[in-house]
Amino acid sequence: MAAPNGTIHVIDADTLDVGGVRVRLHGIDAPEMGQPCSVNGDEWDCGAWARNAVLALYEGRDARCAKVDTDRYGRVVARCTVDGADMGATIVSAGYAWAYRQYSGDYDLDEKAAAIMGRGLWGFQVQAPAEYRSEQVAERNAPTTDCVIKGNISGGGRIYHVPGNQNYDRTGINTATGERWFCTVTEAEAAGWRPARR
């Protein structure tokens, strides 16, 4: 897919539709919708706050984007500019998102400037989005009290692990990929999983 150019529709503080193409801005990470932030005991939806701030800056304006990659959700990952100004730098400098150092060091200095000035997110108590996402996945994928058998999908196929198996503790379960928890060995085998060898 070619780099998109066109009118911006803001989805959240780091995701846009540009000319009808879904774009994830490269090198920045904004709070998730529903993610809380707080100051002095007052709490609100940090993702909605950041989205609204970015929406006020960019909704309906024209962007030019340079594709960097495609992410696992099929979105174009791109650096985008509006009137020649880098959107990622502007958003991070204003404190509406963080530099996403796992993927890029491009906005490190912009983030440091925002932190020093206490702009936006730097004036709040808020968790890093990657940590928040990880906790949400862990909560969704946690076993119930009685259902502790891990149905894992790997190169070896559909394998279930019971507590005490060699790899039980280090086996993660991602229900988004079809992995699941079972309550009994009979249930796991009926669903097509086979026992772990160790």
pLDDT digits (tens, 9 = 90+) for 112-142: 999 999 999 999 999 988 888 877 766 655 6
CA distance 92 to 116: 13
Tokens read off for 32: 């998730």
- Residue 58, Ramachandran bin (φ over 0: left; ψ between -120 and 50: alpha; else beta): alpha
Q: What angle do CA 35, 23, 126 make, to 5 degrees?
A: 20
28, 104, 122, 168 from 79: Cα distances, Å: 10, 11, 23, 41
Rg (CA), the chain: 21
Residue 176 contacts residue 144 (beta carbons within 8 Å): no
Looking at the whole model, is its pTM more than 0.85? no
14, 159, 164, 175, 194 from 189: Cα distances, Å: 43, 9, 18, 18, 6
Q: How confident is the model at residue 180 (pLDDT cuts 50, 70, 90)?
A: confident
14, 105, 112, 116, 186 from 91: Cα distances, Å: 9, 15, 13, 15, 53
Tokens read off for 7: 């009118």
What pLDDT is attached to residue 179? 83
Backbone angles phi, psi at 50, to 5 degrees: -65, -40
Query: What integer best gives the mean pLDDT of the chain?
Result: 89
CA distance 135 to 85: 34
pLDDT tens-place string over residues 151-178: 888 777 888 888 888 878 878 787 767 7
Residue 88 contacts residue 30 (beta carbons within 8 Å): no
The secondary structure of residue 32, as a DSSP letter, is P
pLDDT tens-place string over residues 13-54: 999 999 999 999 999 999 999 999 999 989 999 999 999 999
Is residue 68 classed as helix, strand or coil in its secondary structure? strand
CA distance 135 to 160: 23
**Residue listed under structure tokens 């594709």:** 67
Tokens read off for 58: 């960019």
